[in-house]
Structure 1
Amino acid sequence: MGPTASGKTDLALYLAEHLPCELVSVDSALVYRGMDIGTAKPDADTLARFPHHLIDILDPAEAYSAARFCSDAQSLISDIHARGRIPLLVGGTMMYFKALSDGLASMPPADPAIRAGIEAIAVTEGWQAVHGRLAEVDPQAAERIHPNDPQRIQRAYEVYLLSGISLTDWHLRQASEKALGQTPGSSFLPYTMRYLSIAPVERQILHQRIAQRFELMMQQGLVEEVQALYSRSDLHAGLPSIRAVGYRQIWDYLEGKLSRDEAVEKGVIATRQLAKRQLTWLRGWKAEIEWFDSLDPKRFDQALKALEPATI
């Protein structure tokens, strides 16, 4: 685990080179096909040498969720163990890690960024349009909620965008857990999980790496990559794929809402904010985490030693 631009992939590839590992991506953006540059997806040669599960499994028009990730990851972990190998999960989507290790929370908390996105849709299209989008993903909730009740419309649509699960299904799940006497958030994984995290000791170093990587993405053709998505009639700014950091800023540039320089600046700022949230998740992690400095030349051997067969 670790914040964006911290060197997770390089460390994972080193471990996979020295241990009988299979890599499982834990990233809510890498699941999408055609989103390669802005997600820092490993290149084709790397993926050929080190195949990653859960990369390029969805079209950007589709939604992925923590619940679906847990289902996919649990099946993969079981299959990998059956092959006598070690599942090595790598990525920065902390909600997925937490959902897998602790179980799904009873209801996703409010997310300011998601709410801002919904409000932006309401400003440009009206709350009736947001209510219509809610009706597409949760018709039962849309029937219950009046089209002139923006607060409840926002929350119901927010829950779906955050989790990929409708508010109606959340309520059904809660009722089922209560009937079975289960405690939401409990873990059902029959495995011992080891947590490794990599990050620069100095936050300023991370900020520099984020800025440098975003500039490199621009040079590699990020605008053209987003342009290909923008030209599709079935994609819009409200989709989880387009809300990914970097993509939504370039999308705004293509819509004429930002200049190119403003899009880059806002993309870097948004990426730094993401890294800050990731570090907050990690510092609050309940299980023990072994930390490695992104700039320590010994980090690869240290991580390998931490995962010696006798310790797994």
Structure 2
Amino acid sequence: MAKPKVLFIMGPTASGKTDLALQLADQHESAIISVDSALIYRGMDIGTAKPDAATLARYPHALVDILDPTQAYSAADFVADASREIDQAVAQNRLPILVGGTILYFKALADGLAKLPEADPQLRSELEAEAAQLGWPAMHAKLAELDPLSGARLKPKDSQRIQRALEVVLLTGRSIETFWQEQAEKVLPWDIVPLALMPGDRAELHRRIALRYDLMLEQGFQSEVEALRARGDLSLNLPSMRCVGYRQMWQYLDGELSAQEAREKAIVATRQLAKRQMTWIRGWQGAVHLDSLRNSEQLLAQTLRQI
């Protein structure tokens, strides 16, 4: 008996993933499941380019607006939640369409997760305090000494991954890299159809990124971040506030950056994110690459042929 198909729509930011998913939903009895580490948060709408309320009402997206920005969410959480949503869609004879740009989540679902030790809240607090005092480049140097493999792989400003790698090596005496290498192959109950929306023109993608950020500003992104800051329980140490755009706007509101600097840094950070996403996707074996800059009818026709 053939396994049910599950469609992955992966791509860099501003590549038109959501638009394609909505067009597919008009053609197929389907269930859209978000694969985005920012869209999970309530109250973070403009800066994440979250579909508006009318769109979400017409095309419900699972795993959108499921957490408060104070809460953490891991790849393991995603795998559990997405697996449940996929099974539910399959039981209802709907095509699961997983769409987003958090490639780590896609890989965790497809390949399985390494059996990493659980986070230790006390150790995490100690590392955060140390980082606040010394800075993340110093923490990166510490990691390079304790775990040369991770130190070589991670960049000095990659605070989230540096912190996790330090936690693992301090808790276990082992490099996090060795856990990844032991990762077990997963036998999935579905057949994954991986589609990669990859822009054929890098300059056009960069233009779209800049236009989208300026549109966010027009839509009230500054007010959105002001409201988040006013809560008093959020900070730049939280994963939610490290999201591209939010960090730079927060720094502007703190007086660390001018408005122009915040805009430029946010756009550059988004370009860098897109570059990382494309690097991950290029390494995905068997992915069907589609030029995301083609007209939407061509893109839809190409996608329908895959399913």
Bin for the TM-score computed over the shorter chain: 0.7 to 0.9
Equivalent residue number for residue 136 of structure 1: none
C-alpha displacement of 1:184:
1.1
C-alpha displacement of 1:296:
2.9
Q: Do the aligned partners of residues 186 and 302 (structure 1) sit closer, same or farther apart at CA in structure 2, a change above 3 Å counting?
A: same
Question: Any idea what SS the aligned residue of 1:198 has?
Answer: strand
Equivalent residue number for residue 57 of structure 2: 48
Q: Do the aligned partners of residues 150 and 270 (structure 1) sit closer, same or farther apart at CA in structure 2, a change above 3 Å counting?
A: closer
Over residues 251-304 of structure 1, what are the superposed CA-to-partner deviations in whole Å (9 max), with x where a residue is unaligned?
111111101110000000000000000000111112332423323341112212
Equivalent residue number for residue 258 of structure 1: 257
Question: Any idea what SS the aligned residue of 1:193 has?
Answer: strand
C-alpha displacement of 1:224:
0.6
Equivalent residue number for residue 115 of structure 1: none
Equivalent residue number for residue 4 of structure 1: 13
**Which AA in structure 2 matches 1:224?**
S
Distance 2:272 2:291 in 1: 21
**8 A Cα contact 1:159 1:167, kept in partner:** no
Equivalent residue number for residue 41 of structure 2: 32
Equivalent residue number for residue 202 of structure 1: 201
Where does the alignment leave 5 or more consecutive residues of structure 1 unmatched?
Answer: 109-117, 131-147, 308-312
Equivalent residue number for residue 272 of structure 1: 271
1:301 aligns with 2:301: yes
Distance 1:30 1:75 in 2: 18
Over residues 170-204 of structure 1, what are the superposed CA-to-partner deviations in whole Å (9 max), with x where a residue is unaligned?
85xx9xxx9xxx95142242211001122321100
Q: Do the aligned partners of residues 227 and 161 (structure 1) sit closer, same or farther apart at CA in structure 2, a change above 3 Å counting?
A: farther
Distance 1:56 1:161 in 2: 26
C-alpha displacement of 1:60:
0.3
Equivalent residue number for residue 16 of structure 1: 25
Q: Do the aligned partners of residues 161 and 215 (structure 1) sit closer, same or farther apart at CA in structure 2, a change above 3 Å counting?
A: farther
What is the Cα-based RMSD across aligned positions, in Å? 3.4
Distance 1:95 1:247 in 2: 21
Q: Which moved more, 1:60-69 or 1:183-192?
A: 183-192
**Which AA in structure 1 matches 2:30?**
C
**Which AA in structure 2 matches 1:84?**
N
Q: Do the aligned partners of residues 234 and 288 (structure 1) sit closer, same or farther apart at CA in structure 2, a change above 3 Å counting?
A: same
Distance 1:88 1:151 in 2: 42
Aligned residues: 272
Q: Do the aligned partners of residues 217 and 51 (structure 1) sit closer, same or farther apart at CA in structure 2, a change above 3 Å counting?
A: same
**8 A Cα contact 2:196 2:287, kept in partner:** no
C-alpha displacement of 1:218:
0.6
Q: Normalised by the size of structure 2, how large is the TM-score?
A: 0.79
Question: Any idea what SS the aligned residue of 1:189 has?
Answer: coil
Equivalent residue number for residue 229 of structure 2: 230
Distance 1:40 1:189 in 2: 31
C-alpha displacement of 1:76:
1.0
Equivalent residue number for residue 192 of structure 1: 191
Q: Normalised by the size of structure 1, how large is the TM-score?
A: 0.78
Q: Do the aligned partners of residues 102 and 69 (structure 1) sit closer, same or farther apart at CA in structure 2, a change above 3 Å counting?
A: same
Equivalent residue number for residue 151 of structure 1: 142
Q: Do the aligned partners of residues 169 and 25 (structure 1) sit closer, same or farther apart at CA in structure 2, a change above 3 Å counting?
A: farther
**8 A Cα contact 2:198 2:289, kept in partner:** no
Equivalent residue number for residue 214 of structure 2: 215
Over residues 137-175 of structure 1, what are the superposed CA-to-partner deviations in whole Å (9 max), with x where a residue is unaligned?
xxxxxxxxxxx99836x9998459669xx749985xx9x
C-alpha displacement of 1:23:
0.2
Q: Do the aligned partners of residues 47 and 160 (structure 1) sit closer, same or farther apart at CA in structure 2, a change above 3 Å counting?
A: farther
**8 A Cα contact 2:140 2:162, kept in partner:** no
Q: Do the aligned partners of residues 170 and 187 (structure 1) sit closer, same or farther apart at CA in structure 2, a change above 3 Å counting?
A: farther
1:126 aligns with 2:133: yes
**8 A Cα contact 1:8 1:90, kept in partner:** yes
1:78 aligns with 2:69: no
**Which AA in structure 2 matches 1:151?**
K
C-alpha displacement of 1:126:
1.9
Q: Do the aligned partners of residues 232 and 168 (structure 1) sit closer, same or farther apart at CA in structure 2, a change above 3 Å counting?
A: farther
Over residues 106-150 of structure 1, what are the superposed CA-to-partner deviations in whole Å (9 max), with x where a residue is unaligned?
569xxxxxxxxx88x757x426x99xxxxxxxxxxxxxxxxx998
Q: Do the aligned partners of residues 87 and 160 (structure 1) sit closer, same or farther apart at CA in structure 2, a change above 3 Å counting?
A: farther
Instruction: Spell out structure 1 runs of 4+ moving beyond 3 A.
Output: 105-108, 154-163, 166-171
Equivalent residue number for residue 105 of structure 2: 96
Question: Any idea what SS the aligned residue of 2:32 has?
Answer: strand
Distance 1:198 1:48 in 2: 25
Equivalent residue number for residue 74 of structure 2: 65
Question: Any idea what SS the aligned residue of 2:210 has?
Answer: helix
